Amino acid sequence: MIVVLSKNVTSHDKELVRIYLRDRGFAVRDQQFGEDELIGAAGKGVVDLRELGLLPGVERVAATSKPYELASRETKAEDSIVSVGGPEGNVKIGGSRITVIAGPCAVESREQIRETAETVRESGAVLLRGGAYKPRTSPYAFQGLGLKGLEYMKEAGEACGMPIVTEVVSPELAVDMKDLTDMFQIGARNMQNFELLKKVGALGKPVLLKRGPSATIEEWLLSAEYLLAAGTKDVVLCERGIRTFETYTRNTLDISAIPVVKALSHLPVIVDPSHAVGIRAKVASAALAAIAAGADGLTVEVHPRPDDALSDGPQSLYPEQFEKLMRDIEALAPVVGKELLRTPRPKAPGTGSPSGAGGASPKIPEPGQKQLTAYNGESGAFAEQALMRVFGEEAPRIQVQSFKGIFDAVLEGSAEAGIVPVENSLAGSIHENYDLFLRYPDIAIAGEVKLRIVHCLIADARADMDSITIVRSHPQGFAQCRNFLDKHPSWTLEACTDTAGAVASIAREGAVKVAAIAGAAAAKVHGLKVLKEGIETNPLNYTRFLIIRRRNSENTGFFESAGSEKPNKASLVFSVPDKPGSLFACLKTMADRGINLSKLESRPIQGKPWEYQFYVDVTIPEREEAFAPAMEELKVHTEDFHFLGAYRGSL
């Protein structure tokens, strides 16, 4: 059992709690969990939890049935999100994001770690890994460069805007390494080095804890408990394969451990596919399997020249293999309801532009920074889920009453960004929002996110399927769940302005005979229960949301909205002259420049009957310098040309 003490608890009140517990047969111990002061109670004592919770100085009581109390989901029901890097913790692990850590097995030289850092950063990794101290099976193998190697790694990480994670192998070294690393790694061999765990935990920095090769899940979680009990609140669990009778791979990746641990513990779980299989050609498959099983991220070994690596070369990916893996993860992420985490690149020294941005940065916060973001709908709406996917669960946000209200909030500056749906994979484009871009020329597209839409039947806790007589939802919700609704012809359908609003109405009314079709997040927010999950007719149901921001006042070219992210996609709108071949000329211009069209849709021009404009999404080629001339040439062949923005898209 865990007793969480209030922030202003006195030493007298604390002692009264200890006496209360001892008198009832418990052994007590003081603990620190981040900023929270705790009293742990173990033994076969009996206590009235309500009475205990009313004692002076007690904030709450968490009774657990697990020996790993602080790591248990019984103590904390919500997923923990670990922040790494700087006072703001710009890299998050856990929640709705997939975080990728990459780098070499060992730091071999300043040049090698800098080259690797730049390579993996360009592909999308957000944390840099590498060993300065290497515990090796053979005493004659390369043992690492020590503190000098850690200094090289820190230098490379800062240059590329990546916090670093590195292994600590002894309690004596932990203090020396504290100011040079952003996150400690406890290796598989040291998972049960309890003196090391206590020392590292007491330093308060984030810790990546690898599972030992023969450790049970409970032993692994108890090792995490050592770290949490010692003082750190930020622990990430890393599955890296266990030792079995199989010898073809280096270890056996325990995929089943991912959902098991996530059910038992609130701590984030990532996977190390490199050490799990030990074979370069198999790493990507294991990595994607881990994401599909629910992992919060990966740590992957990458080396610019694996054949020359001083450590673990056979399992290290070539840069081009890592690039492909990142693209595959980006494609898989929406399927599992997550988003690949990206963070801003540092600005080039002596300039106002982020390196590689292709233009001046917008005078608005970058994605990943704390900012106020506007969305339409009630709490728990799919739009809010998309917002959290991009900016994080803790991102400050405001609700507005319409899609137009989002554009107004961004234009007026009451929100730094907005998120609007523009297309559904089943229902097609949301033309209202596409048209708003033309009415708000000072608004640009800065990014996109694709969210899988899983509909649930949601009702009051007292309701069941037999008691339902009315179902509320947005008309699109009804349309997307038609097969399910056809099985219940007696239900009356009531349309609402949004799915989460339908859920909120039931919560406000306390209605027992009314259900709503919406996402599971809305049920959680409004305290209702899910009667049936996954009721949509077609599971391949995705909505594409765009992140919008205000344009710069200065003319900064086609990449102004992209910020520090290297853009790979752009959106534009144009009309063409009423003459033969005018649209063909536009398409030929892009084809000749190697620019691929991913969307082409015509729309009537408001106020001009029988005249049309074209909404176009294009892929920006690797050679960015070819893009701007193509857009300038396109203007010659078009009328009323609008460039909506260049951004990092999910292609």
- Active-site residue list: 543, 545
What does the pLDDT read at residue 116? 97
* Residues comprising the chain, all counted: 651
Amino acid identity of residue 550, one-letter, is R
What does the pLDDT read at residue 341? 85
Structure confidence by residue, pLDDT tens digits, 491-536: 999 999 889 999 999 999 999 999 999 999 999 999 999 999 999 9
Q: How far apart are CA 460 and CA 279, in angstroms?
A: 51
Q: How far apart are CA 67 and CA 64, in angstroms?
A: 8
Q: How far apart are CA 37 and CA 25, in angstroms?
A: 22
Amino acid identity of residue 613, one-letter, is Q
- Interval 235-247 mean pLDDT: 96
Q: How far apart are CA 573 and CA 541, in angstroms?
A: 26
Please state, as a whole number, how many other Cβ atoms lie within 10 Å of the Cβ of residue 379. Answer: 17
- Cα-to-chain-centroid distance, residue 278: 27
pLDDT of 422 above 60 = yes
Amino acid identity of residue 553, one-letter, is S
Q: Are 406 and 440 in contact (CB under 8 A)?
A: no
The per-residue b/e assignment along 92-103, b for 16 or more CB within 10 angstroms, e otherwise, is: bbbbbbbbbbbb
Domain 373-452+543-647: which topology? D-Maltodextrin-Binding Protein; domain 2 (3.40.190)
Q: How far apart are CA 610 and CA 59, in angstroms?
A: 67
Q: How far apart are CA 87 and CA 46, in angstroms?
A: 42
Between 594 and 556, the more confident residue is: 594
- Interval 423-428 mean pLDDT: 87
Task: Please give, one letter per residue, the 3-state secondary structure of 472-524.
Answer: EECHHHHHHCHHHHHCCCCCEEEECCCHHHHHHHHHHHCCCCEEEEECHHHHH
Which of 123, 145, 113, 114 shows the shortest CA–CA distance to 132? 145
Q: Are 94 and 79 in contact (CB under 8 A)?
A: yes
pLDDT of 623 above 80 = no
Distances (CA, A) of 500 to 398, 430, 619: 15, 18, 34
Enter the pTM of the model.
Answer: 0.75
The per-residue b/e assignment along 276-312, b for 16 or more CB within 10 angstroms, e otherwise, is: bbbebebbbebbbbbbebbbbbbbbbbbbebeebbbb
Q: How far apart are CA 259 and CA 436, in angstroms?
A: 42
- Interval 177-203 mean pLDDT: 96
Q: How far apart are CA 23 and CA 19, in angstroms?
A: 6
Which of 592, 636, 645, 593 shows the shortest CA–CA distance to 616? 645
Structure confidence by residue, pLDDT tens digits, 350-391: 444 333 333 333 333 444 445 799 999 899 999 999 999 888
- Interval 56-75 mean pLDDT: 86
Mean pLDDT, the chain, whole residue set: 89
Amino acid identity of residue 117, one-letter, is A
Structure confidence by residue, pLDDT tens digits, 630-650: 999 999 999 889 999 999 886
The pair of structure tokens assigned to 258 is: 């991912």
The per-residue b/e assignment along 44-83, b for 16 or more CB within 10 angstroms, e otherwise, is: eeebeeeebeeeebbeebbebebebbbbbbbbbeebbbbb
Q: Are 288 and 94 in contact (CB under 8 A)?
A: no
What does the pLDDT read at residue 357? 31
The pair of structure tokens assigned to 427 is: 């229902």
Look at the block and give the residue holding tokens 């690949």.
340
For residue 487, how many C-alpha atoms fall within 13 Å in the half-sphere facing its CB? 8
pLDDT of 561 above 70 = no
What does the pLDDT read at residue 564? 52
Which of 203, 215, 222, 132 shows the shortest CA–CA distance to 169? 132
Q: How far apart are CA 550 and CA 445, in angstroms?
A: 9
Stretch among 73-77, 345-349, 567-571 having the lowest mean pLDDT: 345-349
Distances (CA, A) of 258 to 80, 336, 634: 15, 14, 50
Name the percent of the chain lying above pLDDT 90: 66
Band of pLDDT at residue 307, cut at 50, 70 and 90: very high
Q: How far apart are CA 373 and CA 418, in angstroms?
A: 5
What does the pLDDT read at residue 520? 93
Q: Are 277 and 243 in contact (CB under 8 A)?
A: no
Q: Residue ranges of the domains in the chain?
A: 2-62, 82-340, 373-452+543-647, 456-540
List, in order, residues 6 or more apart from 275 with CB less than 8 Å away.
Answer: 188, 240, 241, 250, 251, 301, 312, 315
Q: Confirm whether 373-452+543-647 and 456-540 share one CATH topology.
A: yes
What does the pLDDT read at residue 522? 95
Which of 163, 170, 161 shows the shortest CA–CA distance to 190? 170
Q: Are 496 and 506 in contact (CB under 8 A)?
A: no
List, in order, residues 6 or more apart from 412 with CB less than 8 Å away.
Answer: none
Please check whether the domain covering 82-340 is classified as CATH 3.30.70.20. no
* Helix extents (H) in 231-364: 257-264, 273-277, 280-292, 319-332
What does the pLDDT read at residue 371? 74
Amino acid identity of residue 612, one-letter, is Y
Structure confidence by residue, pLDDT tens digits, 595-608: 999 999 998 887 77
Q: Which CATH superfamily is domain 456-540 in?
A: Periplasmic binding protein-like II (3.40.190.10)
Q: Are 324 and 284 in contact (CB under 8 A)?
A: yes
Counting other chains too, the contacts that 313-316 makes at CB distance below 8 Å and 24 or more residues apart are 314/278, 314/279, 314/280, 315/105, 315/250, 315/274, 315/275, 315/277, 315/278, 315/279, 315/280, 315/283, 316/104, 316/105, 316/274, 316/280
Which of 178, 235, 173 shows the shortest CA–CA distance to 203? 178
What does the pLDDT read at residue 565? 64
Considering the four listed CATH numbers 1.25.40.10, 3.50.50.60, 3.40.50.740, 3.30.70.1140, the one that applies to the domain covering 2-62 is 3.30.70.1140
